[in-house]
Amino acid sequence: MHYVSTRGTAPHLTFEEAMLTGLARDGGLYLPSEVPTLTPATIKAMAGKSYEEIAYTVMRPYIGETFTDAQFMDLITAAYAGFGHDARAPLVQMAPNHFLLELFHGPTLAFKDFAMQLIGQMFQASLSRSGERVTIVGATSGDTGSAAIEAFRGLDAVDVFILYPHGRVSEVQRRQMTTPTESNVHAIAVDGDFDTCQAAVKDMFNDFEFRDAVKLAGVNSINWGRVLAQVVYYFSSAVSLGAPDRPVSFTVPTGNFGDIFAGFIAKKMGLPIEKLVVATNQNDILHRALETGGYVTQGVQPSISPSMDIQVSSNFERALYFAYDCDGAAVAQQMEQLKSEGGFKISQGALEGLRAVYASGRVSEAQTSAMISRAFGEMGELLCPHSAIGVEVAQDHLGTTPMITLATAHPAKFPDAVTAASGEHPPLPARMDDLFDRDERVTRVANDLAAIQKIIKDGISA
């Protein structure tokens, strides 16, 4: 197996190269040349296994020669050792046929830890073998950045620079990024929104001189290694509800489309998933695209679910690639149009392909708060705003197939919105209760690519 770009012209890479590179040189995203399938017997045998064992079975076919079997198992074990729950991703029943997959027991309390902790381990193993250094630059709407900083802090082969939109992340998210003391982590507050930050990162990857000078590496959700790590909990949760003998559906609070795309890969690998339901907040480009076929950007409207305040959903490009039968030229043409005209129309055939896999729903701010209040009052479950959006949309898709809604963050990561809606203040887990006493360290910068690049060049540890 090798890795190919969604735009069809970048060089083919190994797993290790694709993981270290992030964005392809033709502007596309890497995908495996073929998606391996697991037999029903292999999936069935996951029942009763540990999360780590399931992770090994699901991911091993993608890794190739990058790590030996034993080494890969060690990396997985190390990645999840710091989680606050033995099951790693426990499933909680909310209603007769509705389950909540709690993905917030990692060190920064959001599902991003599942991928980022493993990526940290894999980067370290790969770079210490080659003796190289890299500079990781990422954009975040809050959770990716804290997860990346947590995963890479103190690693000597890596500097990590995280761009976040100034004033638009929660205080817990900001402090998780600005309080680590290790000199290889750098938080950068950019005047703008998440899309501004993401565009700056893309521009840096497309500036080959800069990219090569600082040995740029990406760990945003465009990194294939991240998507891959997220495939695992689709298997672990579905198997615990009777897959492969019984199909399941998933509802996923969605922004950049990375998490739900991992569900699509699980389905392609042979997991019987009936529907993948995209849940969006008022920034609903994906919902509109699936309803109308028009993928048209509008301005971002800040919401109480900031990790989903996105109008350009990077990983949707991967979904399009499969919807267009792996035609990289067609994808490249649509992405050009997105850049020049702010939108494109999905062809009828591709749209039908997408609708066969994905359903969608959009949730207003008022509905989000109402669901937080209702879930706490009726089910005793304190939801973060993102998870509440998932639960709200899932209500419209309940049927005879068990529905699993992904709870993407811990309520304590968004205490203001949760307290306002439920009257209950969600406490931080004990291991973080000094977060508000630690000193902050951050560089504020205008939305100016050259200025951001200078901060990075000057900040590299040596």
Ligand X SMILES: *Cc1c(COP(=O)(O)O)cnc(C)c1O
Active-site positions? 112
- E-strand ranges in 30-176 read 30-32, 91-95, 98-102, 134-139, 158-165
At its nearest, how many Å lie between ligand X and the CB of residue 265? 13
Specify which residues 253 forms β-bridges with: 279
Q: Which is nearer to ligand X, 110 or 201 (CB)?
A: 110
Per DSSP, the three-state class of 37 is coil
Does 308 help bind ligand X (rule: CB under 6 A)? Answer: yes
Exactly one of 27, 386, 397, 415 binds ligand X (CB under 6 A); which one? Answer: 386
Cβ(211)–Cβ(25) below 8 Å: no
Question: How far is the C-alpha of 117 from the C-alpha of 78, rounded, in Å?
Answer: 8
Instruction: State which of residues 18, 110, 115, 122 lies at the interface with ligand X (CB under 6 A).
Output: 110
Cβ closest to ligand X, residue 170 vs residue 249? 170
Residues numbered 207-226 forming contacts with ligand X, rule: CB under 6 A? 221
Which residues share a beta bridge with 93? 99
Amino acid code (one letter) for 221: S
Three-state DSSP class for 123?
helix
Closer by beta carbon to ligand X, 145 or else 244: 145
When the beta carbons of 221 and 368 are compared against ligand X, the nearer one is 221
Applying CB under 6 A, what is the total number of residues that bind ligand X?
A: 16
Nearer to ligand X, 307 or 405 (CB): 307
For 398-409, give the DSSP string: -SSS-EEEEE-B
The site string for ligand X over 414-453 (x = CB under 6 A, - otherwise) reads: ----------------------------------------
Residue among 112, 166, 175, 275 that touches ligand X (CB under 6 A):
112
Supply 389's token pair: 């959006």
CB contact set of 450 (below 8 Å; sequence gap of 6+): none
At which residue do the structure tokens 């639960």 appear? Answer: 391
Which amino acid, 432? M
Of residues 82, 159, 147, 91, the one with CA closest to residue 119: 147
Retrieve residue 304's tokens: 């109480």
Maximum pairwise Cα distance, the chain: 58
Which sign, positive or negative, has the C-alpha torsion 146, 297, 32, 279?
A: positive
The least distance separating ligand X from the CB of residue 227, rounded to whole angstroms, comes to 9
Output the smallest distance, CB 442 to ligand X, in A: 20
E strands, 74-173, are 91-95, 98-102, 134-139, 158-165
Nearer to ligand X, 31 or 330 (CB): 31
Residues 237-296 close enough to bind ligand X by CB under 6 A:
253-259
- Closest by alpha carbon to 263, among 404, 424, 69? 404
Task: Enumerate residues 138-157 that contact ligand X by CB under 6 A.
Answer: 143
**Residue 311, interface with ligand X (CB under 6 A)?**
no
> In whole angstroms, how close is the CB of 12 to ligand X at the nearest point?
25
Minimum distance from CB of 92 to ligand X (Å)? 17
CB of 143 to ligand X, least distance (A): 3
Which residue in 179, 223, 281, 408 binds ligand X (CB under 6 A)? 408
19 vs 278 by CB, closer to ligand X: 278
Q: How far is the CB of 313 from ligand X (least distance, A)?
A: 7
Phi first, then psi, for residue 166 (nearest 5°) are: -55, 130
- Residues near 81 by Cβ (< 8 Å), separated by ≥ 6? none
- Residue closer to ligand X (CB basis): 256 or 283: 256
Read off the tokens for 246.
């019984």
Among candidate residues 127, 295, 101, 283, the one with its CA nearest the CA of residue 219: 127
Residues that bind ligand X (CB under 6 A): 110, 112, 143, 221, 253-259, 307-308, 386, 408-409
